[in-house]
Each structure stands twice: as structure tokens, then as C-alpha cells.
Amino acid sequence: MTDPVKRAGFVALIGEPNAGKSTLLNRMVGAKVSIVTHKVQTTRARIRGVAMAGQSQIVFVDTPGLFRPRRRLDRAMVAAAWSGAADADIVVLLIEAHRGMTEGVKAILSGMSDRVNRLPVALAINKIDKVKAEDLLALTQAMNEAYPFERTFLISAERGHGCDDLKAWLAEKIPAGDWFYPEDQIADLPMRMIAAEMTREKLTLRLHQELPYELTVETEHWQERDDGTARIDQVVYVARDGHKGIVLGHKGETIKAVSHASRLELEEFLGRKVHLFLQVKVRPNWLDEAERYSEMGLDFKDGNT
């Protein structure tokens, strides 16, 4: 009896901001490797999450949401999204059932014809619990008339409905070959970046509309201690002096709450005690610094296009 064929491949999740790509990635991998918020454009780097399905290793690339860029950072994020899609073995376009074929989705369909037409593309219609069956059927038909998808999956990334079917199809569809990562590895991002993303998520949730994209978080130091705990020092960079006060909050309440929430999540993720220390610093031009883009896994030059 021969052993089952090993398979390994890259799957790019693309879609509009807030379509549920990070939620789907986390569902597929079974752990939180990409930040999930109610904010759009929260995924800046192309986060790779590794999911196992039998003898298949599916490496998910959670791209930044595709939208109409206005700033350098926006342009770099959109370039990263299309690059991630073009480099993959399979592309999954995720759309929201209740929003349907928006202008943004139409723009993505047009872009797919130019950029990923040689790749197999699946359609995943997310948040199916928000629409009636007849509306879902009409949307499925309209989308498949607009683009030759190989398969269409009706899912709820949050609840898990339909996700196993999508995962099984991807496991069969990716190329035969040796695995890229050890079986127990769930992400290829350095832990420093994952930790920074967790803190940035907590800031995004806490600050709501005040300065969602005018800040970034970097892990400056990571010390493994003899007692098995970790000391993590992070810096929150903001663009203006006024933003520093917002992040700190009255008597430091905001930054304390963010630090507490981030520490608890890091401890759960790492399975051990963490000592987390946050500082807030003003860097007026961080949105135009090449080093900051490298930290986020983006290409600074792409922001020029």
C-alpha cells in the first residue's frame, strides 16, 4: 500500500477590505495569526498561515484588502495584495453576501482578468446567514457570469459553515510536493511581528474612529527569561503629538487597557506568561519611511506607483 501523496501550495485570499479574509484565515489555520477587527484595511503584511489537511499543507496568504489607494501606504498595500495573488497556486476571492457585487468587487474582477487569469480561482461568498436563499442564488449566478470561477463556496467564516468543504477542495487542488514548513508550524511571520499585530489590533478596536491608520507598532526587544517567561518591549509610533495623547488616554487609561488585552492574548497564543511594556513615540514621517514598510512586510517602492 502506497503512502498518500504529499501536497503543498500557496493560496491567496483576496477581496475588499473587511470581507472576512483574516477571519477565514484564522478559521482555516485553527489559530489567530491575522488580526481581525471591524476596521477596514487592518491587514498590512501578507500574513502566511499554514493549515494541514491530511497530507496537504495549505499555505494561506492573507493579502491586504483591495481598495482605491490614496496614500503611499495604501498603494503599497494594494501592490502587495496583487503580488500575493499572482505568486500563489490558487486564488480565493472572498465577497460579502449582503453587500453583493459592489463597485469594489467589479474592480477586483477586472483586475483578476489581467493579473491572475492563468490561476485557478474559487469564489467564496461569506456571511451567508445575512441574506435570503434566493438573493444568494442570484448573487452566485451573477458572479459566475462575470468571471469563470472553478468552484463557488457558500460560507460563514465566523461560524465555520462551508469552510471544511473549501479546505478539502484546496487540499486536493494544490500541487504535489514536499511541505514548506514543519507540520506544527502555523505561521511564517516572526513572532515579533505577530506580537506587534496583536497590539495594533487592540489599539484599533479601542480607538475606533480617532486614528485607525495613523499608527504602527513595532516590537523593539524580546527577551526570553530563565523562568520561562518572556519580556516584550513594543513602541507605538504615531504621526502627531496630538495622537500621542489619544493613545495614552486620560491618566494613561487607554494604553494600560491595550497593554492588558494584548498581554492576555499573547499569553494565550504562546502558552506562557508574558511581561509586556508599551511606549508611545511621535514619528511625524513614519508613513514615508522605508524601514517602517519593511517592518510591515511591504515594499516601499510600491507606494510610488
Least confident among 17-31, 80-94, 261-275: 80-94
The answer to whether 153 and 123 are in contact (CB under 8 A) is yes
Q: What mean pLDDT do residues 213-227 have?
A: 82
pLDDT at residue 233 tops 60:
yes
pLDDT recorded at residue 44 = 46
Q: What sign results for the dihedral spanned by CA atoms 293, 297, 301, 305?
A: negative
User: Domain 191-304: which topology?
Assistant: GMP Synthetase; Chain A, domain 3 (3.30.300)
CA atoms in the 13 A half-sphere facing the CB of 148:
6
The CATH homologous superfamily of the domain defined by 7-173: P-loop containing nucleotide triphosphate hydrolases (3.40.50.300)
Query: pLDDT of 109-153, one tens digit each?
Result: 887 777 666 788 899 999 999 999 999 999 999 999 999 999 999
pLDDT recorded at residue 42 = 44
Query: Residue ranges per domain, the chain?
Result: 7-173, 191-304
Give the pairing of strands 215-224 and 230-238. antiparallel
Mean pLDDT for the chain overall: 80
CA 213 to mean position of chain CA atoms: 15
pTM, two decimals, is 0.61
Q: Which among 93, 86, 23, 30 has a CA at the least distance from the CA of 58?
A: 30
Greater model confidence, 270 or 169:
169
Res. 108 pLDDT band, cuts 50 70 90: confident
pLDDT at residue 71 tops 60:
no
Query: pLDDT of 13-48, one tens digit each?
Result: 888 877 888 889 888 987 766 554 444 444 445 556
